[in-house]
Amino acid sequence: MKRLEMKKNVLIILFLSLFLYCGPKQQQVEKYMEDGVEVVVNYMEPYTLKGQPANLTIEEEFTIDTENDDLAELGLTDIWGFSVDSSDNICFYLSPLAQGNLVYKFDKEGRFVYSFAPKGQGPGEIENPIYLRFNSKDELAILDAAGHTLCIFDTKGNLLKEFPVDRDVARPGTAIIPLENGKYLVRRVILADRRYSDIVVSLFDPELNELKELHRHQVESPEFTGKFELPVPIPLFEASKEHIFIGNGKLGYEISVFDLEGNFVRKLMKEYRSVEVPEDYKNEVKGYLEDSEFLFLKDIVFFPKYLQPFQFLFTDDEGRLFVMTHETGESSEEHIFDIFNSEGVFISRKGLEVFLSGNLFEPGNPIDSWAVMKQERFYCLREKESGFKELVVFRTIWK
């Protein structure tokens, strides 16, 4: 009996060993330390991590369509940028060239609530909005380039306070992200002299005083170099509840990660597929320059052979980072996103249709959010065949 029992136990152990060997394996993530900073090495294929959801599916819930006649009567005929608060309320802002109220609020079911922030220069008015984000208190921060102010509105659209900002902060091209700790992450253009300008990402205090510079990228003036590179290499940045992410495609597929106090804590590195600059993009740019005030750039514009590794970043409530590559999916509107977990490990890829503004030279060209992942929902702008934009809201499912 004892021998028979031992034989059974051995067979069970062998069966379990075979099952575990043939089943999904926990991969060892490659990491090392460099000058006190953790470097996470990611390859072409995602890591397989035990017990961690990595497969994202989305199911459309509703749309807010600017082609809708009812919205047109309200004055919402275009979407320049949007933000979502902790209760799933959505706020859009209109083009700086628009008139009337410039901010429109919708509830979590997509129903219009009210509009506010009329065009103007008085209290509670906005003249030239160039960025809009909710902060951790669900207050709406709007950067007014013309008024050189950051305006904070409450949940009912009432002006709470205004901060004066330096001229280089209020310049078009600036983006401001309110952080969870009350500070601000600011990307701005500093005109050093006529030969070049600097694109700088810095940490600012709650009163919008600069605390710490995190990244600087120098761009030479076409007037002195005799050349103008397109697409323009611009550092990308985003923030989660715990971290700041800054990526500069000129450095390759590298993303620097800081804590909310501006301490450099991690670097993400990843292999990637190079994508050549499309010919139709080159022809579109040259055609636009031919009939515009930027005709002088036509003879000096040049295009590198390959696009930069990524073109947009956003995060979700779990600290995941979504990196939009230049690879396309089943359609030209579907962009492939690399998805990293909160530890900087590449865990998945997903094709998502996200609208990108194509005209670099259009006045007030939008630089705000194209996509938001928040509380089991994915929000993204999409351009219809008619040319009108719509916000599409999806339910997200992780498996």
Q: Using only the alpha carbons of the chain, give its radius of gyration.
A: 24
DSSP 148-204: TEEEEE-TTS-EEEEEE--HHHHSTT-EEEE-TTS-EEEEEEEEEETTEEEEEEEEE
| pLDDT tens digits, one per residue of 223-247 | 788 888 888 788 999 999 999 999 9
- The percent of residues in the chain predicted with pLDDT above 90, rounded, is 58
> What does each C-alpha distance from 352 to 141, 152, 179, 271 come to in angstroms?
27, 32, 26, 21
| pLDDT tens digits, one per residue of 88-142 | 999 998 887 888 999 999 999 999 999 999 999 888 899 888 888 999 999 999 9
User: What kind and span of H or E run contains 20?
Assistant: helix 2-22
Neighbours of 5 (CB within 10 A): 9
Mean pLDDT computed over 264-292: 90
Mean pLDDT computed over 28-44: 96
**Pick from 97-106, 108-117, 180-189, 361-370: least confident:** 361-370
pTM over 0.85: yes
Instruction: State residue 14's pLDDT score.
Output: 40
Domain-wise residue ranges, the chain: 30-272+309-354+369-398
What is the CATH T-level fold of the domain 30-272+309-354+369-398, as seen in this structure? Neuraminidase (2.120.10)
- φ/ψ (deg, to 5) at 298: -55, -40
- Cis? peptide before 96, omega within 30° of 0: no
Asked if residue 274 has pLDDT above 70, the reply is yes
